[in-house]
């Protein structure tokens, strides 16, 4: 998905804008997946999920960030998790929605091939995004996404990306103490999935492989497959507490109260000083397609922190 399809509802939510005042937000689209992208030539070798993760440090360096808090959905969540495993010092925290930590086996590959023969590309993508109930009811949201996926994103590029995502490997993570030399995510992680979402089983398994001392698992009822779109208020509240648990935004202005700032609720500890400068807002260009990025700097006062969203 483009960053707008993935995150506009969430980041335009009023309470979320109170949070993003304190951050620089950088959207990252996978190569060729942004709106209006040129079609890749025939025979183009699309980057693997590992290669996409390896592109992100150049984005971080380009903008002068020291570290980021990553927010990803689906394939974007997988890429961010891989990024954090390879470059742990660049990642302060992760919000991973609808992540599937498992690679695809031969049976999955054959099923995907068969499905590809009988379904349109937008419908294949929708099957990753929405619950069966949402698809059967053909809700307005499903219809809107079907239309936009079919018209906004280049279909040839999207097929290349989907093929590569379906060829991904296991994340190769294990909960500390379960196997010798277990490797897992070291930063705080918030896992999010909607009740009955297609990714529910994968997210539950991912939760079982992470360190429980720094992992929050949020299963959202009545939110379908895209909780950031259908339940932005609940997700914003959870995200706020997640950030406060990391020492950020310990005081937020509550728009419902006339008294201005109010102390944060639970999961709060003393704020730590985190400062960095934004060195450039120009696009990242290179000899090969790179992750398409743009940043949004809001009216931050004092320290500026950074979030990176990966939408795929």
The SS3 of residue 207 is helix
**Distance set, CA 232 to CA 11, 17, 69, 297 (Å):** 8, 12, 18, 21
State residue 68 phi and psi, 5-degree precision: -135, 160
Quick check: 39 and 155 in contact, CB under 8 A? no
Of the given ranges (36-45, 46-55, 250-259), which has the lowest mean pLDDT?
A: 250-259
Rounded Cα distance between 134 and 126, Å, is 10
**Contact (Cβ atoms closer than 8 angstroms) between residue 1 and residue 97:** no
The pLDDT value given to residue 177: 86
State whether residue 19 is helix, strand or coil.
helix
Predicted TM-score (pTM) above 0.75:
yes
Cα radius of gyration (the chain):
19
- As given in the structure block, the two tokens for residue 3 are 């960053």
Q: Could you give the CA distance from residue 239 to residue 23 in angstroms, rounded to a whole number?
A: 13
Measured distance CA(228)–CA(193) in Å, rounded: 10
Nearest by Cα to 175 from 202, 216, 206, 199:
206
Higher pLDDT, 306 or 301: 306
Domain 3-311 bears CATH identifier 3.40.50.1820: yes
The pLDDT of residue 299 is 40
Q: Cα–Cα distance between 283 and 285 in angstroms, integer?
A: 6
How does DSSP assign 35-78, residue by residue?
TTPPPPPTT--PPPHHHHHHHHHHHHHHTT-S-EEEEEETHHHH
Categorize the per-residue pLDDT at 311 as very low, low, confident or very high, splitting at 50, 70 and 90: low
285 pLDDT more than 50: no
pLDDT at 9: 95
| pLDDT tens, position by position, 265-277 | 333 222 232 322 2
Where do we find the tokens 């979030």? Answer: 307
Q: Please count the residues of the chain.
A: 312
Residue whose token pair is 């929050």: 216
**304 pLDDT tier (thresholds 50, 70, 90):** low
User: Which residue in 161, 132, 164, 131 sits closest to 149, CA to CA?
Assistant: 161
pLDDT of residue 1: 76
């Amino acid at each position: 998905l483009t960053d707008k399809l993935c995150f506009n509802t969430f980041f335009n939510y009023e309470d979320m804008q109170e949070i993003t005042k304190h951050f620089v937000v950088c959207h990252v689209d996978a190569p060729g997946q942004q709106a209006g992208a040129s079609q890749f030539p025939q025979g183009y070798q699309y980057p693997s999920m590992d290669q996409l993760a390896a592109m992100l440090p150049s984005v971080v360096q380009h903008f002068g960030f020291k570290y980021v808090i990553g927010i990803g959905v689906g394939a974007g969540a997988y890429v961010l998790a891989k990024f954090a495993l390879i470059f742990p010092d660049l990642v302060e925290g992760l919000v991973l929605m609808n992540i599937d930590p498992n690679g695809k086996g031969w049976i999955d590959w054959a099923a995907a091939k068969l499905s590809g023969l009988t379904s349109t590309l937008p419908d294949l993508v929708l099957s990753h995004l929405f619950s069966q109930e949402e698809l059967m009811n053909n809700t307005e949201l499903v219809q809107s996404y079907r239309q936009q996926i079919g018209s906004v994103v280049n279909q040839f590029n999207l097929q290349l990306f989907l093929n590569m995502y379906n060829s991904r490997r296991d994340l190769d993570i294990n909960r500390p103490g379960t196997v010798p030399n277990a490797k897992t995510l070291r930063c705080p992680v918030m896992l999010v999935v909607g009740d009955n979402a297609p990714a529910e089983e994968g997210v539950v398994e991912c939760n079982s492989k992470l360190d429980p001392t720094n992992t929050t698992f949020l299963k959202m009822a009545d939110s379908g497959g895209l909780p950031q779109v259908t339940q932005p208020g609940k997700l914003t509240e959870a995200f706020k507490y997640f950030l406060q648990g990391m020492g950020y935004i310990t005081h937020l202005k509550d728009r419902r109260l006339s008294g201005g700032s109010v102390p944060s609720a639970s999961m709060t500890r003393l704020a730590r000083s985190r400062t960095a400068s934004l060195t450039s807002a120009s696009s990242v260009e290179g000899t090969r397609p790179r992750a398409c990025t743009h940043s949004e700097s809001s009216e931050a006062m004092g320290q500026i922190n950074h979030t990176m969203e990966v939408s795929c």
